[in-house]
Amino acid sequence: MHLNKYIQWLLAACLLLNLSISQALETVPVIHQTAVRYFYLDGNVEAINKTTVSAQTSGEIKEILFDVDDFVEKDSIILFLKNTEQLANVKKGEAAIQEARALNLKARQEYDRLKTIYEKKLVSKSSMDEAVAQLHATNARLDATQAGLTQAQEQLSYTKVLAPYSGIVIQRHVEPGEVVQPGIPLMTGISLEHLRVSVAVPQSLINKLRHFSKAAIILPETGQIVNVNKITIFPYADPSTNTFQVRLALPVGIKQLFPGMFVKVSLVTGEKQKLTVPSKAVVYRSEVTGIYVVAKDGRISFRQIRSGGENGKDTIIILAGLDEGEQVALDPIAAGVLLIKQRKKEKKESQSE
């Protein structure tokens, strides 16, 4: 009777000892998570906004303010054309408007005068009709001169060539002193704020890409993963390569990317539920991959596992060695220390028996 009570007390003490050891550890359960299958391809970075600014009026290049590799803010003046002819046309238009206004005023005054007399039947209808026609003619002439002045002012504004958006100059097509006509290319620039990646996707993967519609790029220097904002799939395949052209729109303001660079593209091609554990809980010892498991009674054990690779950057897929719901230690170093203490305690207890 006394022996049975002693054995029960000893088992309870061992259980409390194990629990006190394991209580110092932070643990998490082994759970099922969605494991993503990726397919990697090489993509080419492109600028969404690439524009060649052309002359909209004729004239001689007076001054060029920017050159290749210069950064230009939106609406900044990039070059001047000589504006002698355009300025003269503006002044001519202003003079024409003054003349048209004077003639229109005279015609309106004559119309008002004859209208009063005509109502008193002191002037003929033909005279009144002539006054009306003259007023309409001067109104039309005033409208025409105003349109001509607007056109002349617009041509004058074209002698200051503006940047359509903020970007970098990649090519200059003219030199100071050249005479240009409307449509002649002046300067080409690109915007580094809005970029995309172009990638050729094999025919066998295109339906999976359409289904999951998830992709990312991996920055070449830092390895940072950047998720794609939008995926555009061309609706036809290249018959020579059996690939579909796909464009991946990137977030604004990625500093490490420039048009023409090659980047690694990851496409989501499948999803499946897999057992996972946090990456920091896994231990790598030579050719052995293992993890510290904490049992319900608090006992710690080291168990070898078979890994299925990373599931994102924070978790590892478990193919064998663990079951769902088992508790694993998040700090392998602390778990290893406690396991040694646990084994020493167990050895002393077995020797005392």
**pLDDT by position in tens, the chain (length 353):** 443 443 344 344 444 444 455 456 888 888 888 777 889 999 999 998 889 999 999 999 999 999 999 999 999 999 999 999 999 999 999 999 999 999 999 999 988 888 888 887 888 888 888 889 999 999 999 999 999 999 999 999 999 999 998 889 999 999 999 999 999 999 999 988 889 999 999 999 999 999 999 999 998 878 888 889 899 999 999 999 999 999 999 998 788 888 889 999 999 888 788 888 888 888 888 888 888 888 888 888 888 888 887 776 688 888 898 888 888 888 888 888 888 888 888 777 776 66
What are the structure tokens assigned to 161, written together?
């060539």
Query: In residues, how long is the chain?
Result: 353
Helices and strands in the chain: count of H runs, count of E runs: 5, 22
- Residue 81 contacts by C-beta under 8 Å, 6 or more apart in sequence? 55, 57, 59, 60, 61, 62, 158, 159, 160, 161, 180
Taking only the tens place, the pLDDT of each residue in 202-242 is 999 999 999 999 999 998 878 888 889 899 999 999 999 99
CB 103 within 8 A of CB 135: no
CA distance 235 to 276: 38
Quick count: other Cβ atoms within 10 Å of Cβ 298?
19
Sign of torsion over alpha carbons 264, 270, 280, 289: negative
DSSP string, 5-70: HHHHHHHHHHHHHHHHHHTTS-EEE-EEEEEEEEEEEEEEEEES-EEEEE-SS-EEEEEE---TT-
Instruction: Please give the Cα distance from 43 to 49 (Å, whole number).
Output: 18
β-bridge mates for residue 264, sequence order: 42, 218
Residue entry with tokens 């396991």: 339
Q: DSSP readout, 261-296?
A: -EEEEEEEEEEEEEEEEEGGGEEEETTEEEEEEE-T
Domains of the chain: 18-33+273-352 (2.40.420.20), 39-49+194-271 (2.40.30.170), 54-81+161-193 (2.40.50.100), 83-158 (1.10.287)
In angstroms, rounded to a whole number, what is the distance separating the alpha carbons of residues 329 and 290?
11
The closest of 316, 289, 300 to 31, measured between CA atoms, is 316
Contact 246, 199 (CB under 8 A): yes
Q: What angle do CA 292, 296, 302 make, to 5 degrees?
A: 20
Residue 318 near residue 328, CB atoms below 8 Å: no
